[in-house]
Chain A
Amino acid sequence: MTANPSAAQTAVNAAAAASRAAEAASGTPAAVLHADPRFRELKHRFRWFVFPVTAIFLAWYLLYVLLCAYARDFMAHKVVGNVNVALVFGLGQFAATFLTAWVYSRYAARRLDPLSAELRAEAAK
């Protein structure tokens, strides 16, 4: 992931210009935006992030539920004092939730919002 969103935007600007020429022929404003390479990039960035991250996150949760159902001896193992694996794993679900929300928000602010705002502004014209 590059930290600089404008670099990616410049990269697609050339292609955008080309598509703008073609857009006169096609119909609605939405169709024009949809054909814009910057929109394809936005869609790609969005899907590339949220689908795998949702899948990994749900797998982590499912692992926890399965362990609760089928690996009770493992979950009963004490880590420190009266704190056992089940409690640590449960708190791990909280940690994963907070972490995922934070990582996604950072990603969205850097890689999605600027591109999305740019396209929205153009559509409003």
Chain B
Amino acid sequence: MTDHKTLTIALFTVFIVVTLAITVVAGRRTRSAADFYAGGRSFSPLQNGVAIGGDYMSAASFLGIAGILALSGYDGFLYSIGFLVAWIVALLLVAEPLRNSGRFTMADAISERLRSPQVRVAAGISTIVVSIFYLIAQMVGAASVISLLLGVSSDASRIWTIVAVGALMIFYVTVGGMKGTTWVQIVKAVLLMIGACVMTVWVLAKFHFNISDLLGAAAHQSGKGDGFLQPGLKYGATDGWSKLDLISLGIALVLGTAALPHILVRFYTVPDAKSARKSVNWAIAIIGTFYLMTLVIGFGAAALVGSKTIKTADPSGNTAATRLAEYLGGGPGTNGGAVMLAFIAAVAFATILAVVAGLTLASSSSFAHDLWAGVFRRGRTTDAGEVKVAKIAAIVIGGVAIALSVFARELNVAFLVALAFAIAASANLPAIVFSLFWKRFTKAGAVAGVFGGLVSAIVVVSLSPIVWGGASDTKPAVTLTAAQADKCGVDAKNKHVGNATALLSCTKVAPIPLENPGLISIPVGFICAAAGTILTSRRRTDADDQAFEELEVRALTGAGAH
């Protein structure tokens, strides 16, 4: 019998060695600021499309969605759909004009016509906040996933996992810049697609390629019957607020993607707008295929492994995909099972590393280019100086992310992914769309939109059941385990706890029963941006109009684009 842990660690090591080598080679070819921030704008549409997939498909969307599908059935599909359809907004409204109007960062594109340090600061802050929230979610997730995969659950192993993942991402970014990060993402995306494809075909073959049989078996094995194949087991299951929460999640997913800074900077890595369009098309093909496969993997895990077995291993279902891999290979204790488990575990590991590297690069680029060079030094910098600051920023931001993740390692931070999408949709999207398409848009409007969206999203979440877990109509009382009761500091028979993983209090009822802030914060972001613009529209000058005309020409024709 092969021990899957040895094999898993061996495959992890191979991936790390290969990606480090790629990074070092890419680093030698990184000379200018355009190389470091934008990979020299020399990637092909296919390469960039694959890298976008590698940047976007996080462990949350592989292990997480498969887990939700395996435990709560259809509701996992809602995530897949939101994550995919969002790309149309990116394709139609953002990718090409952004590629033409910006240089290295999201803030470049927004402040291009507004020419204001305040706008740059606001967009830079939003970039860094979104990226750090997303980073913490990935790193804490990485710690628990890798602990599960390796079967070690000590606190020290979690801390070391976070530190190791953080150290690797800092290395990828500081040594390899955008070129190194892109290649890590390409390697990861190829591995992830191969892994998902093998499992999908294998699961389908078990059911003689009859989808209906697979669905029937999944519904039967889940113990939930036909309800497993319908929306509503997880989201919108209780009162009217929970239905609004479902809509809120859907809107944030679809509007957030096109405003995620680490995704936007990928559009700068290709030579022109047409290549940006083609890379989004490749990304849509890859991401769409991937999410169709997760549907088979998630339902396959429910049908073949069983929801109960998956839930016993990990209550959130994060091990559904790896358990399924083990089953397909021949089951626990077999050589085939160990090989498949190790392979899928290594794929998950690669997935995490590629995403955190992209996030670190986007946030450190924004720090160096927007805050330091753009505002603090007011453009009086050299390329080399800026890149040096970006590398230092990667180390500092990476260090902060490591520290915050270690601090938050015991908390339930899965909500941070949805929060990052919501902030992107509320704070960044109004500024991006209005600055590209609204002639009258002003500096004050941009600053008001960014801060209005950012602050309102965070305020709504801090008043939500994620922070205050008291039982209510929206969050009915749960039966507590001994560990949960202990953590909450209540008796195990306490009937006033609706969310035992609440951050501040398990028994106080949340003032706002929405876990997803988008439904409130996205309109607030747009209204603030519009109101700020209307209130200051009299201060607009001919120079402002001229700047917008220049932007329009550049965005649509690419004349004068970097």
Measuring CB to CB, which residues of chain A are less than 8 angstroms from any residue of chain B?
27-31, 33-34, 39, 42-43, 46-47, 50, 53-54, 57-58, 61-62, 64-66, 68-70, 72, 75-76, 80-84, 86-87, 90, 93-94, 96-98, 100-101, 104-105, 108, 112-113, 116, 119-120, 123-124
Contact = CB atoms under 8 A, between A and B. Distances in A.
Nearest to B288: A94
A82 B559 contact: no
B153 interface: no
Given A42-B557, A112-B556, A123-B559, 10 more contacts: A27-B546, A30-B560, A34-B549, A34-B553, A69-B236, A69-B246, A82-B229, A83-B211, A100-B88, A120-B559
19 contacts: A30-B554, A34-B553, A50-B92, A53-B92, A65-B78, A76-B226, A76-B230, A82-B212, A82-B215, A86-B231, A94-B81, A94-B84, A97-B85, A100-B91, A108-B277, A116-B557, A116-B558, A123-B553, A123-B559
B552 A70 contact: no
B133 interface: no
Contacts of B219: 82
A39 B557 contact: yes
B425 to A, nearest CB: 12
A55 B505 CA distance: 41
A108 B194 CA distance: 32
| B235, B277, B291, most chain A CB atoms within 10 A | B277
B230 A43 contact: no
A98 B552 CA distance: 28
A70 B85 contact: no
Contacts, number: 157
Dominant SS among interface residues on chain A: helix
Nearest to A80: B212
A94 B475 CA distance: 32
A90 B284 contact: no
**Of B85, B243, B246, most A-chain CB atoms within 10 Å:** B85
B211 A123 contact: no
Contacts of B544: none
Contact of A43 (B288, B292, B552, B560): B552
B91 A33 contact: no
B93 A86 contact: no
B366 to A, nearest CB: 27
B117 interface: no
Given A68-B246, A86-B231, A97 B84 contact: yes
A97 B77 CA distance: 15
A86 B229 contact: yes
A124 B219 CA distance: 62
Nearest to A81: B212
B492 interface: no
Contacts of B81: 61, 64, 90, 93-94
A54 B232 contact: no
A119 B557 contact: yes
Residue among B235, B284, B285, B557 facing the most chain A CB atoms (10 A cut-off): B557
B229 A30 contact: no
A62 B249 CA distance: 11
B238 interface: no
B358 interface: no
Interface string B38-75: 00000000000000000000000000000000000010
A75 B88 CA distance: 24
A42 B246 CA distance: 39
A81 B84 CA distance: 27
Given A69-B246, A120-B559, A104 B212 contact: no
Contacts of B560: 30, 123
A81 B216 contact: yes
Interface string B88-114: 110111000000000000000000000
A101 B88 CA distance: 7
Nearest to A82: B215
Given A33-B559, A108-B277, A54 B93 contact: yes
B338 to A, nearest CB: 33
Contacts of A53: 92
Interface in B177-219: 211-213, 215-216, 219
Given A54-B89, A101-B91, A108-B277, A66 B247 contact: yes
A90 B77 contact: yes
Contacts of B292: 94
Interface in B327-382: none
B224 interface: no
Contact of A61 (B216, B230, B254): B254
